[in-house]
Amino acid sequence: MQDTILITGGAGFIGSNFILQLLGRGSSSIINLDKLTYAGNLRNLQTVTREPRYEFVHGDIADRALVRDLFERRQPRAVVHFAAESHVDRSIRGPDDFLRTNVDGTFALLEEARAYWAELPEPDKSNFRFLHVSTDEVYGSLGPTDPAFSETTAYAPNSPYAASKAASDHFVRAYHHTYGLPAVTTNCSNNYGRFQFPEKLIPLMILNARDGKPLPVYGDGQNVRDWLYVEDHCEAIAAVLARGKSGETYNIGGCNEQRNIDIVQTICDIVDEVAGRAAAPRRSLITFVKDRPGHDRRYAMNASKIQRELGWHPRETFVSGLRKTVRWYLENEDWVRDVTSGAYRDWIATHYAP
């Protein structure tokens, strides 16, 4: 078996950060299989396109013949499965793609991984890993004083996106317990950082604040999320891949619970500081809009298991990570311009109309 890792969805936000981190710190070769839907962006990986340890393959995880060929040709020692439709608002308006990619696609990938793994000799068979990257949204919503989600929290997904990810989690678990596939699952809290598509809260607010546009906040802005800097998340995934126990789940959180309104206000203050004051403080741009259906009130992650067993801890505080993120978006105008097409602006108007 070669020292090769098959990464699905590696042109997306978290996947591209993971690839860059892995190539910068390790010796593994990487195959990046990505369908390049709206959130996939090869510009994220332009610095490694000529790297001999990196190969990009344009394709769908549901294309079993393609996946089978990659397994046979490259003989990876691990799969890190990022590929997913991931935006709740999109899942509410069009759940079909979420079922196809997150459920059917994960099933197809698992089937091909199982067939490949079953034919491996020892010790390659024992050393193989299938790492499935999931979300805290599978656990549902918390009340203000409820304890944080742990790995034993019952699943209670409240959106089509969360339901599709919960289904994929269950398939991964079943393939371990039924067939013995050496699989692990990570459930992470909300990520932020460079390369995030600007439909998500933090990059959307940074760019609108920069441009003096309204800052649309759902409902009363009191929804709480646990925020995780993407590079910290990537380090956690690498730790699970290297030392995680087969069949286990690891929650990854930033230990940074923040209300949406507080995040937007902090972004306004940082943009005022970094980009210079506009005619009025950017906090004046905050606009409350109609809440989305089934909007979970609070997420919080108990990450004590990965901290205790694998020694991982986030390096960034929320504010330090947010400062890095604001600066990156303000300093990478070409990247922003490429992803904020007319179709994207139409989508924003549809979802965030007052």
Within-domain flag for 99: yes
CA angle 144, 148, 151 (to 5 degrees): 150
Q: What is the pLDDT of residue 353?
A: 58
Q: What is the pLDDT of residue 342?
A: 62
Q: Which of 116, 161, 250, 299 is catalytic?
A: 161
State the Cα–Cα distance between residues 337 and 113, nearest whole angstrom.
38
Q: What is the pLDDT averaged over residues 204-225?
A: 95
Q: How many percent of the chain have pLDDT more than 70?
A: 96
Within-domain flag for 159: yes
State the pLDDT confidence band at 146, using cuts at 50, 70 and 90.
very high
Within-domain flag for 316: no
Within-domain flag for 278: no
- Please give the helix or strand (H or E) that residue 54 lies within, else none: strand 54-58
State the pLDDT confidence band at 37, using cuts at 50, 70 and 90.
confident
Mean pLDDT of all residues belonging to the chain:
94
Q: What is the pLDDT averaged over residues 74-82?
A: 98
Active site residue 136: yes
Burial 245-257, CB ≥16 within 10 A → b, else e: eeebbbbbbbbbb
Nearest Cα residue to 176 out of 106, 109, 246, 116: 246
Within-domain flag for 48: yes
Q: What share of the chain is helix, strand, coil (3-state, %, to 5)?
A: 50, 15, 35
Q: What is the pLDDT averaged over residues 69-81?
A: 98
- Whether the CB-CB separation of 301 and 226 falls below 8 Å is answered with yes
CA angle 346, 348, 354 (to 5 degrees): 110
The total of structural domains in the chain comes to: 1
The enclosing domain of 122 has a CATH number of 3.40.50.720
Residue 76 DSSP one-character state: -
Within-domain flag for 236: yes
Q: pLDDT tens digits for 292-309?
A: 888 889 999 999 999 999
Burial of 39 by CB count in 10 Å (0-12 exposed, 13-18 middle, 19+ buried)?
A: buried
Q: What is the pLDDT averaged over residues 221-238?
A: 97
Q: What is the pLDDT averaged over residues 269-278?
A: 89
Domain holding 240, by residue range, is: 4-193+229-253
State the pLDDT confidence band at 91, using cuts at 50, 70 and 90.
confident
Q: What is the pLDDT averaged over residues 164-184?
A: 98
CA distances from 51 to 203, 230, 337 (A): 29, 23, 26
Within-domain flag for 185: yes
Structural Rg of the chain based on CA atoms: 20
DSSP codes, 228-255: EEHHHHHHHHHHHHHHPPTT-EEEE--S
Greatest mean pLDDT among 41-50, 235-244, 288-297 lies in 235-244
Q: What is the pLDDT of residue 351?
A: 65
Active site residue 161: yes
- Whether the CB-CB separation of 67 and 61 falls below 8 Å is answered with yes
Q: What is the pLDDT of residue 275?
A: 87
The reply to whether the predicted model has a pTM over 0.85 is yes
CA distances from 94 to 44, 87, 101, 161, 216 (A): 26, 11, 13, 10, 22
Q: What is the pLDDT of residue 333?
A: 92
Q: What is the pLDDT of residue 276?
A: 81
Q: What is the pLDDT of residue 2?
A: 77
User: Beta strand 286-289 with 215-218: parallel, antiparallel or unpaired?
Assistant: parallel
Q: What is the pLDDT averaged over residues 128-136?
A: 98
Within-domain flag for 65: yes
Helices (H), 26-105: 64-74, 88-93, 96-98
Q: Which of 60, 85, 136, 226 is catalytic?
A: 136
Q: How many percent of the chain have pLDDT more than 90?
A: 84
Q: Which of 85, 137, 169, 226 is catalytic?
A: 137
